[in-house]
Copies of this chain bind each other. A is one copy, B any other.
Amino acid sequence: MILYDLVNQKQAHFSPNSWRVRMALAHKGLSYEVSDLLFGGVPRISPTGEKRTIPTIEHAGRQVTDSWEIVRYLDDAFPNTPRLIADATHSAESHVLKFFQYWVQTTLHAGIARLVMLDLHNSLHPDDHAYFRSSREKQIQKTLEDFQAGRETRVDDFRKSLQPLRLALAHGPFVSGDQPGYADYLAFGAFQWARLSSPFKVLAEDDVVHAWFERCLDLYDGLGRRELAA
């Protein structure tokens, strides 16, 4: 198994969606090799020129792209490992988990981007700077500098938006209960992305979400913690 993944200037694997897959692979006890790329290398992942995004895995001669599709593939291809996304007989449960992924995307990813986007740019390999700036400034319709400005006063709103996560963590050490599950890995990816891309503290240290994130960093012999923080 090969995981195609992005690295920044410090060789840290900062992609939030890749962390979902990295944690899923560790949860299942599956081993793999990593193929490190810059953004500029992504179009060369597919030998036949098909569109790929990060993360992409290659297994048994096949490439699978998109974190959700990859985890479903792993659930099916390795039926003797613990499932992370409920199967078709529990369709309601997998849909609610997908909602959780959308909450992560719209609240955590979008919220964190507003706090660290310029730092993230600066953490990338210089060869990626021009691509990152032009593609992201086109999306956000302002400069990276303007987008990140004022974060000290805006960070409180971001922290308030974590309230449902905070309430859920009153029921156990993990979002998924006594043991971590895919919901934890979805949310973990977002905070790990922040940690690897910027020194800015997106979480207050006395927040239960902070304590949960530290617990996630310790999982699987400190798999997440070993990655070099910004």
Residues of A bordering B, CB below 8 Å: 86, 90-100, 102-103, 105-107, 163-165, 167-168, 171-172, 174-179, 181-183
Contact = CB atoms under 8 A, between A and B. Distances in A.
A102 B171 CA distance: 12
A175 B99 contact: yes
Contact of A176 (B96, B107, B171): B96
B106 A167 contact: yes
Interface centre among A92, A95, A183 (most CB of B within 10 A): A92
A89 B86 CA distance: 12
Closest 6 CB pairs of A and B: A92-B181, A92-B176, A102-B164, A93-B93, A102-B167, A99-B168
21 contacts: A86-B90, A91-B176, A92-B182, A95-B168, A95-B171, A95-B175, A95-B176, A95-B181, A96-B96, A96-B97, A96-B176, A98-B168, A99-B164, A99-B165, A99-B168, A99-B175, A100-B100, A102-B164, A102-B167, A103-B103, A105-B164
Given A95-B168, A98-B171, A99-B165, 14 more contacts: A92-B179, A92-B182, A93-B93, A95-B174, A95-B175, A95-B177, A99-B100, A99-B183, A100-B100, A102-B163, A102-B167, A103-B164, A106-B164, A107-B164
